[in-house]
Amino acid sequence: MKFSFSLIKKFAPGKYSKADLVEGLNTYSFEAVDLGGDILEVPNTSIARRFSSAASHLGIAREASAIFDTEFIDPTLKNPKFDFKDKGIFKVNIKEKVLCPRYSATYVTDVKVGPSPEWLKDVLETSGLRSINNVVDIMNYVMLEIGQPLHAFDADKVKGGIIVRRAKNGEEIETIDNNKFKLSEDTLVIADEDRPLAIAGIKGGKYSEVSLKTNRLLVESANFEGVGIYKNSKKLNLRTDASIAFSHNLSPELVGLGMNRALVLLKEICGAKIYKTEDVYPKKQPKRAIKLDLPKIERIIGIKIKRSEVVSILSKLDFKVSKNLITAPAIRNDIEIIEDVAEEIVRFKNFNKLPAVSPKISLGIGAEDDSVIIRDKIRKYLCAAGYSEVYNYSFISKEKTDLAPAEVFGIKRPISLANPLSVDFAYLRNSLAPYLEKNLNDNLRFYEEVRIFEIGRVFGDTSEQKGVSKISEKPVLGIAIYAKDPPSQGSLLRKASDGQVGRAGGFLELKGIVDGLFSNLGLVDWFMPDLNLKNNLLEDNGAVRIEMGDHSVLGYIGVLKSSKNGAVLELDMERLVKAIVEEKEYEPISKFPSIDRDISMLVASDIRVGDILDIIQSVEPEHVDDVDLMDFYEDEKFGGKKSLTFRIVFQAKDKTLTDVEVDKELQKIIKVLIEKVGAELR
């Protein structure tokens, strides 16, 4: 951005040269370059975070005043004198308050449009702008002086008032540079009752531009949401000084400063008469007050500093210090925390003169994170079992978010990206399985069997209520396999929880991998009931949950619908790590003896073992210490039923159970089994 040294010197007079200012800015403030003549340049990248306060001649003058300890003359302190008590004939209606936090408009009459005075033309030319007429030049000058873009409409071309709205699809506008644009609903426009008058925050329209015949104005000073302006500027391929400024999220407090300054100049230069300003500002920017914590400031900057020196530096930069509170200037929206204040202080102490001091930190006892240790163990175990690690994208398409049973991880809805690269990467993945399935298919072109795993993160909205977001990010272990069936398997189709799935050698292998992995990690209290979650990835009768003894779900294993020889597994790493750590916690062994009871029964062949285990453990959870399947047998003489024998271990922590008590509890279990699964005792 180019600046006029003469104008800066007007606001911050003092005995310093342009070379001194360039050197001072480079030392204390921003990168600056002397371009010769009256021009100096400060790159936009250097002031990106401080665009509201520094992308203007007043902003640079404020820095110069602080650097050279000179007077600062603020032209915005002069308020305009209104010629009328009312606001005129125009009203403002903001329909998009998020995209336009503030809109200010003033009705101006008796305007004499003509050439600008020479001093005004010189400032514009130095800053890289050409003179148009005195009205347009004043709008551009105020933007250069204060940093707030403004626009003036020919009031005779505005019908009914100003409406800030989204464009209608296909709506067209011709801008003041004679280019025509077809707009969409993504574009914010400034319109009247009949048509769009300007592309908000970017460029004015041809229809309502100011000409030599203009006598009445409607002056606009507004604030627009930065992301929207940036996206529309890119979409329309229309880059202007205003769009660059608004893209950096200007402070809405600049709106009033810019409007008042423009009105003062319109009266002085154009002889205008002005009505009171219509200022729509629904949600005002709050004041940012930060506690003056001197010890913390000293810890941050690394040197001792007096309170009086802190107050002196901050006062030069227009901060207000009252007792123990620091109030940042309204246009300094980059000041949020005490560290930001410390940065302002230390840069005027001169970074180059700060002493080199070694940091002092307290060292704690070194310890390895449980999750890191467990991940390493998992990797070593799976690699030793012949599995290869893969890495996949975190972005997927909408269709793939509907494949896997993400509800296992508590994910209710997938998360879409605001600005995706393409429709194939429009969402964050809520499961590792879709890409693992793709990895299998890609590798099967070269291999007969494929074994892979991935440790990555999945994302999703875990809120139970629609419209209320609760974003979650979970580490997950995913394993996928395509393995040929052992000869003994044949093509029988049987239930997953009974340990058999037709032509599912991969499924059986993954069950074995889980068993071996959990044993290796010291996890013993787990079981596999039916998944019971509808999804588009897994066979309906070919998937099971992996649960802990307390019924918390670790993950699932399932046969892929796309291939009976393919199977996939996903485990919640957070829950797994927690379960492993808790498993290692010491729990005293009960000093009271246990009592075993065996029950044999006939049940229908489609009844799952996991369901029966759940029922037994839930009936008397206080005294049932363990349940194991001891025998499984199928024979034609059972009439399509299967015989199961379970051993139930009863034990109390506070007393010795009697046979009478155990038999009573056993009868409760038998009664529930008869009612729920139709069990027949043998």
Of 30-39, 243-252, 352-361, 673-682, minimum mean pLDDT range: 352-361
Query: Residue 206: what residue type?
Result: K
Interior angle at CA 247, CA 242 and CA 253, nearest 5: 75
Could you give phi then psi for residue 379, rounded to 5 degrees? -60, -45
Percent of all residues in the chain with a pLDDT value above 90, rounded to a whole number: 61
- Give the model's pLDDT for residue 618: 77
Query: Residue 384: what residue type?
Result: A
Of 360-364, 406-410, 581-585, 664-668, minimum mean pLDDT range: 581-585
Kindly provide the residue ranges of all beta strands, DSSP E only, lying in 281-369, ordered along the sequence.
289-291, 320-322, 325-327
Q: What digits encode the pLDDT tens for the residues 140-186?
A: 999 999 999 999 999 999 998 999 999 999 999 999 999 999 999 99
Kind and range of the H or E element at 23? helix 18-28
Cα 196 from Cα 156, distance rounded (Å): 15
Cα 407 from Cα 232, distance rounded (Å): 37
Cα 206 from Cα 467, distance rounded (Å): 41
Q: Is the per-residue pLDDT at 503 higher than 50?
A: no
Nearest to 598 by CA among 650, 547, 639, 523: 650
- Give the model's pLDDT for residue 485: 56
The one-character DSSP state at 190 is E
Nearest to 382 by CA among 558, 508, 509, 473: 509
Contact 220, 150 (CB under 8 A): yes
Between 167 and 592, the more confident residue is 167
Mean model confidence pLDDT for the chain: 89
Nearest to 521 by CA among 571, 581, 575, 481: 581
Interior angle at CA 667, CA 665 and CA 673, nearest 5: 110
Question: Six-digit token pair at 297?
Answer: 């400031």
Cα 20 from Cα 27, distance rounded (Å): 10
Residue where the block lists tokens 């010291």: 522
Q: What digits encode the pLDDT tens for the residues 444-461?
A: 888 889 999 999 999 999
- Give the model's pLDDT for residue 619: 79
3-state SS class at 332: coil
CB-based burial of residue 291 (10 Å sphere; 0-12 exposed, 13-18 middle, 19+ buried)? exposed
For 469-484, what is the mean pLDDT? Answer: 89
- Give the model's pLDDT for residue 587: 59
Q: What is the DSSP string of 32-100?
A: -EE-STTEEE--GGGSGGGHHHHSSHHHHHHHHHHHHT-----GGGS----S-SS--S--EEES-TTT-
- Give the model's pLDDT for residue 349: 86
Cα 126 from Cα 463, distance rounded (Å): 56
Rounded CA Rg of the chain: 37
- Find the distance separating the first CA and the last CA of the chain, reported in whole Å: 91
Cα 164 from Cα 146, distance rounded (Å): 24
Contact 114, 133 (CB under 8 A): yes
Give the confidence band of 519 by pLDDT, cuts at 50, 70, 90: confident
Q: Is the per-residue pLDDT at 504 higher than 60?
A: no
3-state SS class at 644: strand
The one-character DSSP state at 324 is T
The one-character DSSP state at 284 is P
Q: Report the predicted TM-score, pTM, of the whole model to 2 decimal places.
A: 0.61
Q: Where are the alpha helices (DSSP H) in 495-648?
A: 505-521, 573-583, 609-619
Q: Is the per-residue pLDDT at 584 higher than 60?
A: no
3-state SS class at 461: strand
Domains of the chain: 2-73 (3.30.56.10), 92-280 (3.50.40.10), 289-351 (3.30.56.10), 370-583 (3.30.930.10), 595-681 (3.30.70.380)
Contacts of 670-677 with CB under 8 Å at 24 or more apart are: 670/599, 672/615, 672/619, 673/601, 673/612, 673/615, 673/616, 676/615, 677/603, 677/604, 677/607, 677/611, 677/612, 677/615
SS3 content of the chain, % helix, strand, coil (to 5): 35, 25, 40
Q: Is the per-residue pLDDT at 366 higher than 70?
A: no
The one-character DSSP state at 530 is B
The one-character DSSP state at 529 is -
For 536-550, what is the mean pLDDT? Answer: 84
Q: What is the DSSP string of 408-444?
A: GGT--B-EE-SS-SSGGG-EE-S-SHHHHHHHHHHHT
